[in-house]
């Protein structure tokens, strides 16, 4: 069992076909036994990304609607979500300043660090942030997190 935190750039690959999709589907398959954590905002970001793929030619309207419906169904069952608390926002503000991250990337990192603290308290050995965002990955590594980029798994 692995403890994984996926940001939206990684999770959207489960619901569409792009570089890294096969690997993400493997990681998020319920039979893998992996615990998958998401920041609560990831739900909005994934739906937005899938809807926008219609506009930019990455998905048909029917494929996007199907993917969004699948995601909505899986969200409460496959993933554990981290709520966005006032303390998490304060941490995200500090991370945005320190690492010059975009706003939601700082929130993603703050949520991943919260999951990492949970992991340490439970004595779980493995934890990885999975993200296709270069700036977020660099900041996460600077904060001491293990990172894996799904684009490295064609």
- DSSP track, the chain: --EEEE-HHHHGGGSS-STTHHHHHHHH-GGG--EEEEETTHHHHHHHHHHHHHHTTSS-HHHHHHHHHHHHHHHHHH-EEE---HHHHHHHHHHHHHHT--HHHHHHHHHHHHHHHHHHHHT---EEEE-S-HHHHHHHHHTT--EE-GGG--
User: 12-30: per-residue pLDDT in tens?
Assistant: 999 999 999 999 999 999 9
Q: pTM for the complete prediction?
A: 0.95
Judge whether residue 122 has pLDDT over 90: no
> What's the confidence (pLDDT) of residue 126?
81
- Indicate the pLDDT class of residue 138, thresholds 50, 70 and 90: very high
Overall number of domains in the chain: 1
Q: What is the mean predicted confidence (pLDDT) over 96-109?
A: 98
Domain that holds residue 40: 3-152
Task: Provide the CATH number for the domain around residue 11.
Answer: 3.40.50.1010
């Amino acid at each position: 069992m692995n403890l994984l935190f996926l940001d939206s750039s990684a999770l959207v690959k489960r619901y569409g076909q792009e570089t890294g999709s096969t690997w993400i589907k493997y990681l998020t398959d319920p039979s893998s036994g992996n615990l998958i954590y998401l920041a609560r905002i990831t739900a909005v970001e994934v739906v937005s990304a899938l809807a926008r793929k219609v506009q930019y030619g990455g998905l048909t309207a029917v494929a996007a609607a199907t993917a969004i419906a699948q995601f909505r169904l899986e969200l409460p069952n496959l993933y554990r979500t981290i709520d966005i608390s006032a303390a998490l926002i304060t941490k995200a503000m500090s991370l945005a300043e320190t690492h010059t991250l975009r706003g939601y990337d700082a929130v993603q990192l703050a949520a991943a660090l919260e999951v990492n603290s949970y992991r340490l308290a439970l004595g779980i050995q493995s934890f990885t942030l999975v993200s296709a965002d270069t700036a977020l990955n660099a900041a996460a590594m600077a904060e001491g997190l293990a990172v894996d980029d799904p684009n490295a798994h064609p």
